[in-house]
Structure 1
């Protein structure tokens, strides 16, 4: 059985939990990070010298970095349903994984920190408004893509949908005013209806 280290309020942990569920792998999840602490222990430092979450243990293998873990689970356990054999088709999925980290996640962070977590130094209305504007610009890109196809790289969900889906779950469930995005909302509804997603994406967003 897999062991996943990390609190479920983390989008990086959510994608790993979701992927494990999609590929049919049972797991034990250990709450660490945030209010649970534990990242500064010698035990955790031996698992991940960066002292970040998540960490995956699969037998003798220990992995950190959420994107790497997601790819590993898809490649090892998902078959071609989740790990495309064609490098070109797989790249269409992986670009969205990278987009989530480089574009959407940084845009969402000020909104999450200011509106939901109310962290000191992040609650100024101007900061939050700037985060909302930046997030809207990124979600508009997603809307245009999803107007052309059911999922990010074709007719069925893939690793890109899982990764971006965790970010959109936050966006659609934070108490901010948003533009209507019917294609994004249709896509999100299809994702959240999947049992593996429903168990990985808790509400309320915290």
Structure 2
């Protein structure tokens, strides 16, 4: 059975869990990370020298990096409906998966840690405000894309890209600050919230 190492509060772990739910992949999960078993433990470092979650074990195969993992799962377990075989459709999904991991993640990191997680190391108000401006710019880009598609981030159907993007949108609404109205983003969250696999890993109580 597929094994997933990582704690549910991690947004990157939840990418993997949501993907498994969409693909009906049975799995066993172990809590690793801050507040649980330390990722600096030798047995974890032997699996991922970066000491970060998630990590999967699929038989003898070990893989880390959440986006690599969700792509692998879609390829390995019949996920063509989430991760199209057509080169252009797949590239469009990949574009938004990678954008979430780079531009979007970097934009919200300081503000989220300071406001939602209340990290003592992230309480510089100027840095929080700077992060909010950067985050808002990224979310405005997303809002424009969703206004164009009137459906999902990569087009008219749900794809693998909507898993990391959807979790980030949930985090946007779950972080306490005054945010602008982004109607297409709000409608998008309502849309993906209808999926049964969303609630356990992207509900409003989990940011």
TM-score tier (shorter): over 0.9
Evaluate the alpha carbon distance shift between residue 48 and residue 202 of structure 1 in structure 2; reply closer, same or farther with a 3 A threshold. Answer: farther
Q: 1:67 and 1:79 mapped to 2: Cα distance?
A: 14
Q: In the alignment, what sits opposite 2:82?
A: 82
Q: In the alignment, what sits opposite 1:194?
A: 195
Q: In the alignment, what sits opposite 2:107?
A: 107
Q: How does 1:22-37 map to 2 (within 5 A)?
A: 22-37=22-37
Q: In the alignment, what sits opposite 1:144?
A: 144
Q: 1:172 and 1:203 mapped to 2: Cα distance?
A: 8
Contact map agreement 2:170 2:203 (CA 8 A) in 1? no
Secondary structure of the residue aligned to 1:147 is: helix
Q: In the alignment, what sits opposite 2:49?
A: 49
Q: 1:79 and 1:182 mapped to 2: Cα distance?
A: 30
Secondary structure of the residue aligned to 2:161 is: helix
- CA RMSD in angstroms comes to 1.3
- Residues 163-206 of structure 1: CA deviation (Å, up to 9, x unaligned): 11111111111111111111111111111221111111254346
Contact map agreement 1:75 1:82 (CA 8 A) in 2? no
Q: 1:86 and 1:169 mapped to 2: Cα distance?
A: 29
Q: In the alignment, what sits opposite 1:131?
A: 131
Which piece of structure 1 moves more, 78-87 or 126-135? 78-87
Q: 1:108 and 1:28 mapped to 2: Cα distance?
A: 30
Please list every run of 5 or more consecutive structure 1 residues that lacks an aligned counterpart in the other structure: none
Evaluate the alpha carbon distance shift between residue 73 and residue 53 of structure 1 in structure 2; reply closer, same or farther with a 3 A threshold. Answer: same
Structure 1 length-normalised TM: 0.95
Higher relative contact order (CA 8 A, sep 6+): 1
Secondary structure of the residue aligned to 1:62 is: strand
